[in-house]
Amino acid sequence: MRKLDTKTIIVASHNAGKIREIAELIGPLGFSAKSAAELKFEEPEETGTTFEENAAIKALASARASGLPSLSDDSGLVIDALDGAPGVYTANWAEREDGSRDFQMAMEKVEKALADRGAIKPEERSCRFVSVLCLAWPDGHTEMFRGEVEGTVVWPPRGTQGFGYDPVFQPQGYDITFGEMSSDQKHGWRPGDAEALSHRARAFKRFVETCLEA
Ligand SMILES: O=P(O)(O)OP(=O)(O)OP(=O)(O)OC[C@H]1O[C@@H](n2cnc3c(O)ncnc32)[C@H](O)[C@@H]1O
Ligand SMILES: [Mg+2]
């Protein structure tokens, strides 16, 4: 296990929602973080079949391009009634033919797939958000951190906060969706807290405990 020995890291992502969330999580820790999007790094092809593989591809590409430790996030929505779909293909389900993304369309696709399987009752619509963070160094060393949060796919979508599939994800134990939560509420974590809520904040907490704390 390797500790992080710089105060500058690259956030190896091109997703504005994720970059904002990671900046919010990392901010209080005194890091300066630049994103791969800001630095205009080319987006590597995500050819892996697991979150871990794709996270490593993105973090290593950015670490090599920048010469700095880079933190990527590969994430997705895993729905039990759909045998784990969309899973690592969560972003692909939102893709239009011209390459742009449409999450209203993606959420409708999810709803149609669930309806086609007759999954109507909340207990038939269990799912989890998964986030795998990969910290990679320019020499090729990597550390991985996984976070998951259980929930239910709701319909219709609710809330305008967050990004992506947040309006249809209701975490277990809550009666509001991630789309109805403030960013702080969705993270459910600040440095020092014992618990976190979102998949990303849970993975981030592990990253902090492993690579930052003595
Ligand atoms: O690969 P990068 O550049 O980081 O950005 P991306 O958007 O392509 O990210 P992924 O390949 O990891 O795909 C993740 C998908 O899952 C969705 N997703 C991940 N975390 C989410 C969250 O916290 N809330 C809502 N949707 C989320 C997100 O919108 C993407 O469609
Ligand atoms: Mg991606």
pLDDT in the model for residue 120: 96
Residue 109, pLDDT above cutoff 80: yes
Q: Above 0.95 for ipTM, yes or no?
A: yes
Among residues 74, 175, 184, 193, which one is catalytic? 74
Minimum CA distance residue for ligand 1 atom 20: 75
Ligand approaching nearest to the C-alpha of 103: 1
Helix residue spans in the chain (DSSP H): 16-26, 51-66, 103-116, 183-187, 199-207
pLDDT in the model for residue 49: 98
Residue 34, pLDDT above cutoff 90: yes
Pairing of strands 169-171, 8-11: unpaired
For 149-177, the pLDDT digits (tens) are 999 999 999 999 999 999 999 999 999 99
- As a whole number, mean pLDDT of residues 93-112 equals 97
| Phi, psi (degrees; rounded to nearest 5) at 74 | -115, 130
Using only C-alpha atoms, what is the Rg of the chain? 17
- As a whole number, mean pLDDT of residues 5-28 equals 95
For residue 33, the CA-to-ligand 1 centroid distance in Å is: 19
Residue 214, pLDDT above cutoff 80: no
- As a whole number, mean pLDDT of residues 176-190 equals 98
75 lines ligand 1 (CB under 6 A): yes
**199 known ligand binder:** yes
Residue 5, pLDDT above cutoff 90: no
Ligand 2 ion: residues within 5 Å (CB):
91
Confidence of residue 53 (pLDDT cuts 50, 70, 90): very high
Ligand approaching nearest to the C-alpha of 105: 1
- As a whole number, mean pLDDT of residues 196-201 equals 98
Helix residue spans in 38-187 (DSSP H): 51-66, 103-116, 183-187
pLDDT in the model for residue 16: 97
pLDDT in the model for residue 213: 83
Residue 128, pLDDT above cutoff 80: yes
For residue 5, the CA-to-ligand 1 centroid distance in Å is: 28
Predicted structure pTM score: 0.98
User: What mean pLDDT is reported for the chain?
Assistant: 97
For residue 44, the CA-to-ligand 1 centroid distance in Å is: 15
Say which residue the tokens 């969560």 belong to.
Answer: 90
